[in-house]
Amino acid sequence: MDRGRVTRRRARLAARGVPRRAAWALAGLVVWSLAACTAPATPAPSATGQQVEVLTWWASGAEKLAMDVLVQQFRAAHPDVTYVDGSVVGGAGSVAKDVLGSRLANHDPPDTFQVHGGAELAAHVEAGQVQPLTDLYDRLGLTDVLSPAVLDLVSVDGVPYAVPVDVHRANLLWANTAVLVAAGLDPTARYDSLDSWLDALSAVRASGHVPLALGSTWTQVHLLEAVLLSRLGPQAYAGLWDGTTDATSPAVATAVGDFARLLGYTNPDRDSLDWQDAATLVANGDAAFTVMGDWAQQVLDPPVVWAPFPGTEGVDDVVLDAFAVPVGAPHPDGAEAWLTTIAGAETQAAFANAKGAAPARADVPMTALDTYPRTAFLALRSGVRVPSLAHGMAAPPDALTEITDVVARLANGTASTSQLQAALAEAATPAATPAASTP
């Protein structure tokens, strides 16, 4: 590993003002005690002339149906404000983020936009692209109803910049039990290690099924982070992003090698699929396993079951969705109306049930939640939390872009595991606070 490259990259980050600490996501892990590049055509304005354009990547399939729940709640609460759909399809948000970047650069911001907490939000803050929401938080009393962990994820230097709407966990393994039985495997087994799961994958391949369904590059990065978490454990995994873990170590080399080995068990058409397509292979019985967050329950039903990714029992790889207000938002009153609606406990319960997630608010009644959101909510009140790499929580956007590029080239045979390990080493951003905290 060229240490000079790491030093030069950190110097570039400092020169651009990228923070040394992106709240909890860059500090490490936490224990939680509780498409076009222009604005869409505007519909006819309301009688008051008020409107709000909301840019989101929840634009198709089950995610769009869940987003519709938020829109319905908003329209019921604010019939005098016209909702303008700024949704952008594709790439688990990557296309929407590109569109957002172009619009912000061209001084054509939406009124509010979806963003992941942690490093992704912090990059917008440091670029001077989003407005602080301290006054809104005070009026709504949000500081009192969000756990400290969630509040940290939407804050930089103690100032909130986004309103969280849900919390997902990324490190889940989905399995078609019928395919497992056909391969001679126990359909109720929970794999306590990556090695035991690799044995199961070999058995599935021998039965003539695809062992592991995978999609395009971002889902491959999603798989990489699960492998890193499994092999390194939560403390060392989180340390990759704050510099306390040596990414050039043999342990990281082993994990990267395991990831490359897993690619050999996947479907050859992976680069042409998104996560829903990979999940469909499992649902249809063409593949045994897929690795995806709990949002996959929207499209996966029995005989498909879920369990923690092998070796990550008791750890949640967290993805937090929120909405922020860009500097120069043309309709600030409309943006405030949107944020006020999605911050409400009733709205968050309805959305959690539709999306398959835990609500961001800590005070949502358990009785308001369906079975899985209740399970997720309880799990998120205890245990170790780490930030997701693939979903922008753990590393700054440019570092994630570099890792994603190397993963893509590794998958098509034009990069080596040592190059991927070097990209992980460059992603580290020294933290200003300890890498872990406990209650």
- Percent of the chain at pLDDT exceeding 70: 87
Q: What is the DSSP letter of 29?
A: B
Q: How many CA atoms are closer than 13 Å to the CA of 36, on its beta-carbon side?
A: 5
Lowest mean pLDDT among 30-39, 97-106, 186-195, 280-289: 30-39
Q: What DSSP designation does 59 have?
A: -
What value does the mean pLDDT take over residues 272-294? Answer: 97
Query: 115 with 97: CB under 8 angstroms?
Result: no
Report phi then psi at 54, rounded to 5. Answer: -110, 115
Q: Which pLDDT belongs to residue 429?
A: 67
Q: Which amino acid is at 253?
A: A
Residue listed under structure tokens 């943006």: 335
Res. 17 pLDDT band, cuts 50 70 90: very low
How would residue 428 be classed by pLDDT, with cut points 50, 70 and 90? confident
Give the residue ranges of DSSP H helices in 243-331: 250-263, 275-283
pTM to 2 decimals?
0.88
Q: Which helix (H) or strand (E) holds 224?
A: helix 217-242
Residue 176 CA to residue 70 CA, distance in Å, equals 32
For the ranges 31-40, 65-74, 226-235, 396-405, the lowest mean pLDDT is seen at 31-40
Residue 6 has pLDDT above 50, yes or no: no
- From CA 322, how far away is CA 327, in angstroms rounded? 16
Q: 420, 256 in Cβ contact below 8 A?
A: yes
Residue matched to tokens 């969705």: 321
Is residue 309 exposed (0-12), middle (13-18) or buried (19+ Cβ within 10 Å)?
buried
Does residue 257 have a pLDDT over 50? yes
- Identify which of 405, 385, 388, 398 has the alpha carbon closest to the alpha carbon of residue 429: 398
Alpha-carbon distances, residue 293 vs 27, 179, 208 (angstroms): 22, 21, 26
Is the predicted pLDDT of residue 233 greater than 60, yes or no? Answer: yes
Burial environment of residue 333 by CB neighbours within 10 A (0 to 12, 13 to 18, 19 or more): middle
8 pLDDT band, cuts 50/70/90, is: very low
Is the pLDDT score of 378 beyond 50?
A: yes
**Residue range 325-371, pLDDT digits in tens:** 999 999 999 999 999 999 999 999 999 999 999 999 999 999 999 99
Alpha carbon distance 430, 287 (integer Å)? 41
Domains, in order of start, for the chain: 29-168+320-387 (3.40.190.10), 172-316+402-426 (3.40.190.10)
> Is the confidence at residue 386, as pLDDT, over 90?
yes
Report the b/e string of 348-380 with b at 16+ CB within 10 A. bbbbbbbbbbbbbbbebeeebbeebbbebbebb
Q: Is the pLDDT of residue 33 over 90?
A: no
Cis peptide upstream of residue 303 (ω within 30 degrees of 0) = yes
Q: Note the pLDDT of residue 430.
A: 60
Residue 28, exposed/middle/buried by CB under 10 A (0-12, 13-18, 19+)?
buried
For 99, 156, 225, 235, 380, the CA distances from 384, given in Å and listed in that order, are: 34, 22, 16, 9, 9
State residue 305's pLDDT score. 97
- Tell me what the mean pLDDT of segment 139-163 comes to: 97
Cα(284)–Cα(376) distance, rounded to whole angstroms?
A: 26
pLDDT recorded at residue 332: 98
Pair type for strands 287-292 and 163-169: unpaired
Q: Is the pLDDT of residue 222 over 90?
A: yes
Longest dimension (CA), the chain: 65
DSSP strands (E only) in 207-303: 210-213, 287-292
What local confidence, expressed as pLDDT, does residue 80 receive?
97
CA distance readout (Å), 229 to 26, 200, 325: 15, 20, 33
Q: What is the pLDDT of residue 15?
A: 37
pLDDT for the residue 43: 56
Residue 21: pLDDT band with limits 50, 70, 90 = very low
Mean pLDDT of the chain, nearest integer: 89
Quick one: average pLDDT of 310-325? 96
- Backbone dihedral region for residue 26 (phi beyond 0: left; psi -120 to 50: alpha; all else: beta): alpha
pLDDT at residue 110 is higher than 60: yes
Give the residue with greater pLDDT, 281 vs 27.
Answer: 281
Pairing of strands 210-213, 287-292: parallel
Instruction: Supply 278's token pair.
Output: 């990979």
Amino acid identity at 140:
L
Q: How far apart are CA 205 and CA 268, in angstroms?
A: 13
Average pLDDT over residues 284-302: 95
For residue 47, the model assigns a pLDDT of 52
Give the closest residue to 53 by CA, choosing from 140, 94, 112. Answer: 112
**pLDDT value of residue 207:** 98
pLDDT of residue 296: 94
Q: How far is CA 80 from the centre of its chain?
A: 33
